[in-house]
Structure 1
Amino acid sequence: MTRSDLTHDPADRMANFAANLRLLCDRQGSISQICRKLGINRQQFNKYLSGRHMPSSGNTRLIANFFGLGPDILFSEHERFRALVDGNFFDVLDHLRRAPQVARFLDTVAVSTKIDMGEYVGCYDRYQYSSIYARKILRSAFCIFQSGDFLNHYYVERFPSYDDPSRTEYIFKYHGFTFPVEDRVFTIDFETVQRNEFTFGIFSTVQRSAKRFMFGIVSGVAATMFRQPFSTRAVLHYRRPGLLSRAELQATTTLDMNDASIPREAREYLGESPDMIKPV
C-alpha cells in the first residue's frame, strides 16, 4: 500500500472505507458478532458501514487488527481492495500468522526500520516458463504491499484452454510474505484455490533507466502427483504503485516465447529454451 493509493478527499475516504468494510463483513459473517469482538456499539458500527460516519483512529486500528491488515489499506480504492481480498486472503493469512511455528519465524524476519519498504511495494508483471504448458511463458499479475511491519504479496495466474484460447482453463492465486535481505528479495507463498502448493523465490533487483526489474529463481512444491515440483527462472517487471486492478488480473495468460509484449530484458534472462528443473 502506498500513499498514491489513498485519496485525501474526506468524502472519498469515507466512501472507500464503508465499501471495503462491507466487503470484509460480508465474508466474515454476523455483524453482531463482529461488534461484540471489537467492543464497538452496533448502532455506531452501522454508521461506518453506511458511510455516514468515519471511525476514530482508535476504532480504525481496532477494525484493521481484527481483519489482520494495516489501517491504510482500509481506505484504498474499492476495486483494488476487492482484488486484494479475492480468494479469502486475509482469513488465510490470519490463520497462518497464528501458527506458533510461523510466529517464531516471523519474529526473526520482521522488516527492519532501516529498509525503505516503499522501494518494493507496487504492481509487477511476473514472467516465467510455465510448468504446466510446455514452451509457454506465463505472465502473472504480482503485487507487493505493506501490512504493519511486514511486506506481503499476492499474485494471480491464468491459463487459457488449449481447445479455446478465449476461455480460461485454470486460475491459481498465491498469497505470502516478502523479505528484503542484503540486496536480495525472498518470497514464500501458498496457493489459495487448491490449497496444495508452496512456492519459494529469491530475486535480485536491477535498475535500468525508468524501468525496474528483479531477476531470480522460483521453486514450487505441491502435494499432488499432477503438479510436480519444479524450479525455474523468473522475472518481476515493476509497472506502477498500488494494488492490482481488474484489468491487470485479466491480462494474465500464457504467451509464446517470442511474444513482443514480453520485455526484452525478461526474454533475455529467461532464455530461448524452457530452463525448467523437474523430477525425472
Structure 2
Amino acid sequence: MHQDLHQNLRLLCSYYKSIAEVCRRLGINRPQFNRYLSGQHKPSPNTLRRICEFFGVDEQDILLPHGQFQRVVDVRPKPGDQPNQEDSSLQEHLDWLDQGARGDVDIYLGYYYEYYQSMSAPGKVLQNLVCLERRGQRVVFQRTERMRATTNEPPCHNRYQGIAYLLTDRLFLVDYETLNRHEITQTILFPSFRNRVTRLTGLKIGVSDNSERMPCCARVLYEYLGQSVVVRKALANCGLHDLDSGQIDASIRDAVRNDMAPDEYLFRARH
C-alpha cells in the first residue's frame, strides 16, 4: 500500500543526516513515521500537509510515481541544503554593505538622546536613549524607550537592537523591537559636517505601538551625549513629553515638528 508515497518519503529523508532528525524537526514520533516509510499507513491529510511544508514539496507531487518524483526532486534545491543557501545569501548581502560603507563612521559612536513626535501618543514628543558601538567589522546600536502607563506604575523599557551604516553621505539605522519582535524601524540621518558631532537630524519610519499599528513617518533629532554616560541617569530623563514642555529645548521642538511647506509634495527631512 502507498508504495510510491513511502518511496518518495525515503528519498526526501535521504537528504538529511538521519530519520531521527527529520522526526524531531517535524514533531512526529519515530514509530509512527516508520509506518509511513514502510508503507503500512498513509499520513492523515493534516500530517501530510505538514510533511510537505517541511520538505518544501507540493502535496500532489509527493503522490507522483516514484520515478517521476525522482526526476522532479533532482532538479530542485535539496531540502537539507536550503537553510545554508539562505544563510549564505544573507551574509553575501551584509558583506556587500560592509564593503560599501564608509570607515569613518566611528566618529558617531557613543550615546544620544533621540527625539521625535510619538507615533502612538499624538501631540507628545518621545525622548529615547540610543547607544552606537562597534562590534567587530560592524556598528550596532541599542535604542531604549522608557514608557510609563500611569504615574502610579513603574516605567517599562522597550529595547530595539539594530545595525548602522554610513553610506556615501547619509547615516542609515535599521532596528527591531526585541521583546515581541513585531516592529522594524528605519532612521536616516544627515551626517555631521563639523569636527565635533552635536546633533543629527533626519526621518524615522515605523508603526505606532498600539492596536492601530499605523505606518508613520516623523522628523527625528539625535542629540549627542558623549562616549560614556551614567545610563540610569540618562534613562531617567527619557519618556513622553508635551510638545511645549520646558524639558525640551525650543530648537529641538522646532526640529521635530511634522509640518509641510506649501511647495513641498513629499515629507522631507530638514537640517
Given the two structures, how large is their TM-score scaled by the length of structure 2?
Answer: 0.57
1:19-98 to 2 correspondences below 5 Å: none
Q: What SS does structure 1 have at the residue aligned with 2:96?
A: helix
Flag the structure with more relative contact order, 1 or 2, with Cα contacts below 8 A and sequence separation at least 6. Answer: 1
Compared with structure 1, are the counterparts of its residues 196 and 179 closer, same or farther at alpha carbon in structure 2 (3 Å cutoff)?
A: same
The answer to whether structure 1 residue 265 and structure 2 residue 251 are counterparts is yes
Compared with structure 1, are the counterparts of its residues 211 and 265 closer, same or farther at alpha carbon in structure 2 (3 Å cutoff)?
A: farther
RMSD of Structure 2 on Structure 1 (CA):
3.2
1:96-107 to 2 correspondences below 5 Å: 99-107=87-95
Q: Deviation string for 1:31-67 (max 9, x for gaps)?
A: xxxxxxxxxxxxxxxxxxxxxxxxxxxxxxxxxxxxx
| CA–CA separation in structure 1 for the residues paired with 2:244 and 2:197 | 20
| CA–CA separation in structure 2 for the residues paired with 1:120 and 1:224 | 32
The answer to whether structure 1 residue 212 and structure 2 residue 212 are counterparts is no
Residue 137 of structure 2 corresponds to 149
Residue 193 of structure 1 corresponds to 179
Residue 126 of structure 1 corresponds to 114
Unaligned runs of 5+ in 1: 1-97
Q: CA deviation at 1:241?
A: 0.5
Q: Residue 240 of structure 1 is aligned with which of 226, 240, 256?
A: 226
One-letter code of the match for 1:188?
V
Residue 115 of structure 1 corresponds to 103
Compared with structure 1, are the counterparts of its residues 225 and 259 closer, same or farther at alpha carbon in structure 2 (3 Å cutoff)?
A: closer
Q: What SS does structure 2 have at the residue aligned with 1:110?
A: helix
Compared with structure 1, are the counterparts of its residues 260 and 207 closer, same or farther at alpha carbon in structure 2 (3 Å cutoff)?
A: farther
Compared with structure 1, are the counterparts of its residues 185 and 166 closer, same or farther at alpha carbon in structure 2 (3 Å cutoff)?
A: farther
Residue 175 of structure 1 corresponds to 161
Q: CA deviation at 1:190?
A: 0.3
Q: CA deviation at 1:142?
A: 0.6
Q: CA deviation at 1:155?
A: 0.8
| CA–CA separation in structure 2 for the residues paired with 1:270 and 1:227 | 21
Residue 238 of structure 2 corresponds to 252
| CA–CA separation in structure 1 for the residues paired with 2:101 and 2:213 | 39
| CA–CA separation in structure 2 for the residues paired with 1:113 and 1:228 | 31
Given the two structures, how large is their TM-score scaled by the length of structure 1?
Answer: 0.55
Q: Deviation string for 1:164-221 (max 9, x for gaps)?
A: 3353465321000001112210011100012110001100034679661111111114
One-letter code of the match for 1:176?
G
**Contact preservation (8 Å) 2:119, 2:208:** no
Q: More deviation in 142-151 or 239-248?
A: 239-248
